[in-house]
Amino acid sequence: MKTVSTARSHGGTQGVYSHASSACRCDMTFAVFVPPQAAKAPCPVLWYLSGLTCTHANVMDKGEYRRMAAELGLIVVCPDTSPRGGDVPDEPDNWQFGKGAGFYVDATEAPFSRNYRMYSYVIEELPRLIAENFPADMDRQGVFGHSMGGHGALTLALRNPDRFRSCSAFAPIVEPSTAGWSKGALEKYLGGDRSAWRAHDACALVEDGHRFDAFLIDQGSADGFLDEGLRPWLFEAACRKAGIPLTLNMRDGYDHSYFFISTFMDDHLAWHAARLQTR
């Protein structure tokens, strides 16, 4: 692991790091905020998964999470959204696929299966690196994200309820197998057999019997992607049928941007802290 940069913030340290990823077969960059409490004892880990076209830098620069994370004693880890590099296959003219659009799946279709293994990267490889290099209590982990990253957070939590104690999302893609801006990516990554997509679809996972203790979702009513891509009411219906507690906040007048995310960031950090602080 290489240190790209570090900076003092709210008594803690915001760092950016890189390493050669065996899962993605390329160099990967990620950000970690370590709160001041970590100087005395390992702290809970909260994973933030970013959305389409983003890197670790979007939330690090615009998410406004450090003050509250420092107050609550949370380590915040922000991975990249996809593999990077000149040898990684891409569709440069398609912002909904390829670099910046890994969808947190392990691709099975060539040529993408070689590099696009973001599920394994976030669930297996990067946690090992965090455990080895940071004062992290890996028995207390939560996950949240935005848009494509919200999709990732919901699906990772549903598939790994023993790993994550808490899960929330900002404007998540809740049913990517039917959404206009995601079903094309799933087909290219996972093939034409839609049954294989269900493991990466939050609504389908709930329908197939996967469970999680509770979810928090914030969604802007003025989000331009609401009706075609996000459709939180589908996940609300699935959770209601399954008996899974879901708090869905429709935020009047808010869009899909980091102005929206930063406004409600403190609420999400407090949600996670309440579930992560006890051993």
Q: How many CA atoms lie within 13 A of 9 on its CB side?
A: 21
Q: Which two tokens stand for residue 58?
A: 């979007």
Residue 57 and residue 81 in contact, taking contact as beta carbons nearer than 8 Å? no
Looking at the annotation, which residues are catalytic?
A: 147, 223, 256
Neighbours of 103 (CB within 10 A): 27
Residue 175 and residue 202 in contact, taking contact as beta carbons nearer than 8 Å? yes
Whether the bond into 111 is cis, omega within 30 of 0: yes
For residue 44, give the H/E element and its range.
Answer: strand 43-49
Residue 122 and residue 152 in contact, taking contact as beta carbons nearer than 8 Å? yes
Residue 203 and residue 235 in contact, taking contact as beta carbons nearer than 8 Å? yes
Q: Of 89, 76, 110, whose CA–CA distance to 269 is shortest? A: 76
CA–CA separation, 122 vs 232, rounded Å?
Answer: 24
CA–CA separation, 276 vs 273, rounded Å?
Answer: 5
Chain Cα centroid distance, residue 257: 16
Residues sharing a CB contact under 8 Å with residue 277, sequence separation 6 or more, in sequence order? 44, 72, 73, 140
